[in-house]
């Protein structure tokens, strides 16, 4: 679709265009080019708004009380009074004039009210997903992921409990945010792995490419560069960033490869429990004194257990019927 001329766009945003012109411009706003233009215009308008003067920019009548209430609710909820009023100033005129709000909102969620979907990847399973913006995510076993049906105009927010590897589509105007039940990862476009299971106090994040910020509820932020790994303890609130020494193994699980490096038996059992959904019973506590370094592309549980037995004096007796592994000394 061809871009309308500047005069037509200005008239629509000012709320003085005819129905025919407004309808044509609104259709263009629903295109990729139109959305980019709208975001740029909103940013430009925002720079001109002085703190405390936001209401003056909604100087036209608003026919829908429900729409106005929705805007105010978002202002209170997100503490983004200035930003959301500039959205109202630019967007509401052509919505009222054309009735084509749904066409534009089918691509982006203007007011952040989009319903959320939730997916749970059970133990023994791993999946891949592609979001509407082109972002790819690999989700590991025993992981919950909550995401909106449509991303918002100014951000793309999801909620993660578990482990996932992200390849985020770059968009400088709409940061991608991964909420981790308190802390959050903020990113524009990059590749990273994050591990934040609720039964473990530690959050681990590794950055492959780009840049991410690890943000705490206290507004304190930690920035990661490529090749760095972050470890945050929810109990002690201690955060450590260091150069990753095991970069190859961090995201091998996305290729269906099991990998351990100097992992304690407790860690190994925890990972295998998620991968295969089997119960481990420690018959002899002495087995917990051993650690393991192993990479296996053959992900049959029996084969992995045999490989573990080769590098320690520990025996793993697997009962396939009960889906249970007894751990004892040889």
Output the pLDDT for position 214. 95
Beta carbons of 185 and 215 less than 8 angstroms apart: yes
Output the pLDDT for position 326. 95
> For domain 257-329, which CATH number applies: 3.55.50.30, 3.30.310.50, 3.40.50.10330, 3.40.50.150?
3.55.50.30
**What is the pLDDT averaged over residues 46-50?**
45
Q: How is domain 116-248 classified at the architecture level of CATH?
A: Sandwich (2.60)
**What is the pLDDT averaged over residues 252-275?**
89
Residues in the chain: 330
Beta carbons of 63 and 98 less than 8 angstroms apart: no
Top pLDDT among 66 and 134 is at 134
Output the pLDDT for position 97. 37
Determine how many CB atoms are found less than 10 A away from the CB of residue 158.
20
Distance CA 100, CA 225 (A): 43
Q: Hey, where are the domains in the chain? A: 6-105, 116-248, 257-329
Question: What's 168's DSSP letter?
Answer: P
Structure confidence by residue, pLDDT tens digits, 289-330 = 999 998 887 678 999 999 999 999 999 999 999 999 999 998
Output the pLDDT for position 298. 63
**What is the pLDDT averaged over residues 188-203?**
92
Determine how many CB atoms are found less than 10 A away from the CB of residue 164.
23
Tell whether the model's pLDDT for residue 101 goes beyond 90: no
Q: Which of 58-67, 156-165, 280-289 has the lowest mean pLDDT?
A: 58-67
**What is the pLDDT averaged over residues 65-89?**
43
Distance CA 261, CA 294 (A): 6
Tell whether the model's pLDDT for residue 185 goes beyond 80: yes
pLDDT band at 83 (very low <50, low <70, confident <90, very high): very low
Distance CA 102, CA 111 (A): 12
Mean pLDDT estimate for the chain: 77
Quote the percentage of the chain above a pLDDT of 90.
Answer: 42
Output the pLDDT for position 296. 84
CA atoms within 13 A on the CB side of 222: 21
Residue by residue, DSSP assigns 177-230 as EEE-SS-EEEESS-EEEEEE-TT-SEEEEEEEES-EEEE-TTS-EEEE-TTEEE
Q: Which of 125-129, 222-226, 230-234 has the lowest mean pLDDT?
A: 125-129
Top pLDDT among 9 and 252 is at 252
Tell whether the model's pLDDT for residue 266 goes beyond 90: yes
Question: What's 152's DSSP letter?
Answer: B
pLDDT band at 59 (very low <50, low <70, confident <90, very high): very low
pLDDT band at 62 (very low <50, low <70, confident <90, very high): very low
Distance CA 261, CA 256 (A): 16
Q: Which of 83-87, 117-121, 174-178, 312-316 has the lowest mean pLDDT?
A: 83-87
Domains 116-248 and 257-329 share a fold: no
């Amino acid at each position: 679709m061809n871009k309308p001329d500047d005069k037509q766009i200005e008239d629509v945003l000012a709320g003085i265009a005819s129905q025919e012109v407004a309808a044509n411009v609104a259709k263009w706003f629903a295109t990729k080019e139109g959305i980019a233009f709208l975001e740029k215009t909103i940013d430009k308008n925002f720079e001109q708004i002085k703190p405390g003067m936001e209401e003056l920019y909604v100087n036209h009548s608003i026919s829908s009380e429900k729409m106005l209430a929705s805007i105010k609710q978002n202002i209170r909820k997100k503490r983004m009074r200035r930003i959301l009023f500039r959205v109202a100033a630019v967007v509401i005129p052509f919505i009222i004039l054309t009735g084509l709000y749904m066409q534009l909102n089918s691509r982006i969620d203007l007011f952040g009210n989009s319903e959320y979907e939730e997916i749970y990847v059970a133990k023994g399973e791993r999946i891949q997903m592609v979001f509407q913006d082109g972002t790819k995510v690999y989700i590991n076993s025993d992981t919950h992921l909550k995401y909106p049906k449509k991303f918002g105009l100014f951000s793309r927010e999801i909620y993660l409990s578990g482990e996932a590897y992200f390849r985020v589509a770059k968009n400088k105007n709409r940061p991608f945010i991964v909420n981790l039940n308190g802390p959050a990862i903020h990113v524009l476009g990059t590749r990273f792995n994050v591990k934040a299971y609720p039964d473990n106090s530690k959050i681990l994040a590794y950055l492959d490419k780009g840049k991410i910020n690890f943000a705490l509820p206290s507004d304190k932020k930690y920035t990661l560069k490529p090749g760095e790994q972050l470890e945050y303890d929810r109990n002690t609130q201690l955060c450590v960033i260091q150069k990753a020494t095991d970069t190859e193994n961090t995201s091998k699980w996305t290729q269906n490869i099991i990998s351990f490096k100097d992992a304690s038996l407790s860690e190994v059992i925890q990972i295998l429990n998620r991968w295969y959904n089997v119960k481990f019973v420690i018959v002899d506590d002495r087995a917990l004194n051993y650690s393991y370094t192993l990479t296996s592309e053959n992900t049959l549980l029996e084969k992995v257990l045999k490989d573990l037995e080769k590098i320690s004096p520990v025996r793993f007796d697997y009962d396939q019927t009960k889906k249970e592994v007894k751990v004892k000394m040889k």
